[in-house]
Amino acid sequence: MTIDAARGAASDSANLPDPTGHFGRFGGRFAPEALMAALDELTREFEAAKADPAFTGELDELLTNYAGRPSLLTEARRFAEHAGGARILLKREDLNHTGSHKINNVLGQALLTRRMGKRRVIAETGAGQHGVATATAAALLGLDCTVYMGEVDTRRQALNVARMRMLGAEVVPVKNGSRTLKDACNEAFRDWVATVEDTHYCIGSVMGPHPFPMMVRDFQRVIGVEARRQVLELTGRLPDAVVACVGGGSNAIGIFHAFVPDEGVRLYGFEAGGDGVDTGRHAATLAGGSLGVIHGMRTFLLQDDDGQTLETHSVSAGLDYPGVGPEHSWLHDTGRAVYRAITDAEAMDAFGLLCRTEGIIPAIESAHALAGALKVGRELGEDAVIVVCLSGRGDKDMHTAAEWFGFITGEEGGR
Amino acid sequence: MSTSVAFAKAQADGRAALVGYLPAGFPSYQGAIDAARAMVEAGCDVIEIGLPYTDPMMDGPTIQDAVHRALTGGVRVADVLRTVEAVAATGVPTLVMTYWNPVDRYGVDAFARDLKSAGGAGLITPDLTPEEAGPWLAASDAHDLDRVFLVALSSTDERIAKIVDVCRGFVYAASLMGVTGARSAVDTGAPRLVERTREALARRGPDAPALPVGLGLGVSNGAQAAEVAGFADGVIVGSAFIRRLLDAPDEKAGIQAVRAFAAELAEGVRRGA
């Protein structure tokens, strides 16, 4: 397929994935046979639930009266002064209950879990946002909950570990491999293979075997649907660019999706560049990865010549993942979305800037999008309107940030 | 040589085949070869060589531990192929058991070609289902290699039919809903899964090639091997071999323990038939 033809096809991406879960050459199901029946059941139940007004009504009610939707669209005027004068509008997913976009997806999957007659959910988490959201939804619906978290991440996100336990979830620190998000994913899959009859694996991003990338996208689409309406109401036109951070990529797909058919709207995903893509210490999958299979999907990933997954590095536990959702690989391949890397230092500069100019402490993940928005703003000029997905709030990251900026030392932090 | 030849030979002896698994590079590059050879000498009919992978999604702690050590020890895909070559030289069909990404990365046809030239019998692919296996079906046809897909307790009859249709060598029945690892008792669903798989094989019609059914996941002693041999064509053992290498004071003692355990299992499959 030529790039032009692919771009045309991408604008039709509401029809993707195909019935076998493929976004072009990406996606699919690379999963143990033991899980295939559960994946088929989940696909059927999700399709039925989407068409069932009782299900969608209950989800809408929870999103409105529990999660706090619609989230605000806040103009960041003082922050935008550093972006070449472009207008910057923040889609405030940080204001959702539990403090991030993760709750949108989790409420949907928790309702599906109950609909399937299962009594337990498991989840993996990096920064803890998805773990906290899952523990929250499980508490709300009376489901048992186990959350797998890399041991490294349990240390840097200790507050979220406590929060999950407070909500009644069991948190299991994973001591295999790099002890970060990808290893938590492996452990969650292992649990699921053994418990699939009564357990739903509540995947937290647009990744994994079909139908997860499609299902999580559909639960997160609300971000972009709202943002598109809000920006039209506020400015009378569509934005010039929509910007989001990308680890697995759920907040990014969520805000991109409603804009994909709007060809004049540029879509930018910002990945974790760590110390810099050329240093090898990063988690920028689309900038530095190659095609392969990980965690049940075909997508871009960071791997060596033998197909072994490379260790990743990011100041953000939530972006510290060597793969990316298959739909992002598709948008990257077709050129519909542009993906770039933001270094730790650039992200933390933007983090500090948003705090001081707007009185908003962002998640470090979201700070990657903010740093990207500053660059995009300078490139597009002062007439540009840029919507940034502020995917989460930074309370959980205060320890990392306070150490980064030298407000506390390691000793004072008790670690 | 196709794995089915070894199964047929065991069947002619009136017993089940014994299939042993070890990852390449564990406890060391040469240690893995020596251990696999000891398994053959003590009565294993088929050897599976695991390709160590950083993200072993389906494996329990024992295999994870061994694979981690192999990777830390520096084992590469080329070493896996050399291990296959050394083990296949014993005359026993030797398969590679691998997650899909290393093969995908190597190039499916190139991997098939190099596996064939190393004397390998084929691949066992725990995270590749027939739906995604197009390139591998073509490559295994082109290079005349076995392709062993798994059936699970949760597989529907329709899926079992689809899986056995594309298998060559044998069908791998995963008897537990769970990850690999020795269990104290063989799951009670196992005989029924083997039976359902045989029913699917029978429905292929009289001209379809014979395809034995091996049962894996959980066997940890000779008595269990005998029990499984009573209803399956092959008994597949992995974690319990690795456990002996992990628990031994040194590599030499470990290989002796592996040899003794293989002999116990070989006696079991003869008793069970």
| Contacts of A50-57 spanning 24+ positions with Cβ under 8 A | A50/A218, A55/A111, A55/A115
d(CA B186, CA A211): 32
Put simply, the answer to whether A309 touches B54 (Cβ < 8 Å) is: yes
pLDDT over threshold 50, residue B165: yes
pLDDT over threshold 90, residue A30: yes
Global ipTM: 0.94
A295 to chain B: which residues are within 8 Å by CB? 55, 57
Contact by Cβ (8 Å): A140, A168: no
Cα atoms in the Cβ-side hemisphere of radius 13 Å centred on A134: 32
Q: Which residues of B are the active-site residues?
A: 48, 59
Which two three-digit tokens encode residue A198? 């009564």
Q: How confident is the prediction for chain A on average, in pLDDT?
A: 94
Q: In sequence order, what are the residues at sequence separation of 6 or more whose Cβ sits closer than 8 angstroms to the Cβ of residue A391?
A: A93, A94, A100, A101, A244, A245, A251, A363, A365, A366, A369
Amino acid identity, position A94: D
What is the distance in angstroms between the Cα of A310 and the nearest Cα belonging to chain B? 9
Mutate to test the interface with A, among B105, B180, B196 (most CBs of A within 10 A): B105
A182 to chain B: which residues are within 8 Å by CB? 55
Selection from A31, A33, A34, A29 nearest residue A194 by Cα: A34
Contact by Cβ (8 Å): B115, B94: no
* E strand or H helix at A200: strand A199-201
Beta pairing partners, B237 = B20
Confidence of residue A3 (pLDDT cuts 50, 70, 90): very low
Q: Would you tell me how many other CB atoms lie within 10 Å of the CB of residue A55?
A: 18
Which two three-digit tokens encode residue A197? 């009859």
Identify the burial level of A161 via C-beta atoms within 10 angstroms of its C-beta, where 0-12 means exposed, 13-18 middle and 19 or more buried: buried
Portion of chain A with pLDDT greater than 70, in percent: 95
Task: Judge whether A250 counts as a catalytic residue.
Answer: no
Q: Would you tell me how many other CB atoms lie within 10 Å of the CB of residue A380?
A: 18
d(CA B160, CA B200): 7
A404 touches chain B (CB under 8 A): no
d(CA A274, CA A33): 36
Contact by Cβ (8 Å): B197, B175: no
B55 to chain A: which residues are within 8 Å by CB? 177, 182-183, 186, 294-295, 309
Contact by Cβ (8 Å): A169, A138: yes
pLDDT, tens only, B52-78: 999 988 888 899 999 999 999 999 999
pLDDT, tens only, A329-378: 999 999 999 999 999 999 999 999 999 999 999 999 999 999 999 999 99
Once rounded to an integer, what is the mean pLDDT over residues A3-25?
Answer: 71
A295 touches chain B (CB under 8 A): yes
| pTM metric for this prediction | 0.95
Q: Which residue of A has its CA nearest to B105?
A: A307
Hey, which residues 150-179 in chain A have their CB within 8 Å of chain B?
A: 176-177
d(CA A213, CA B89): 45
Put simply, the answer to whether A32 touches B163 (Cβ < 8 Å) is: no
Task: Judge whether A13 counts as a catalytic residue.
Answer: no
What is the distance in angstroms between the Cα of A14 and the nearest Cα belonging to chain B? 23
* E strand or H helix at A181: helix A181-195
Which two three-digit tokens encode residue B201? 């094989």
Confidence of residue A5 (pLDDT cuts 50, 70, 90): very low
A307 touches chain B (CB under 8 A): yes
d(CA A54, CA A61): 11
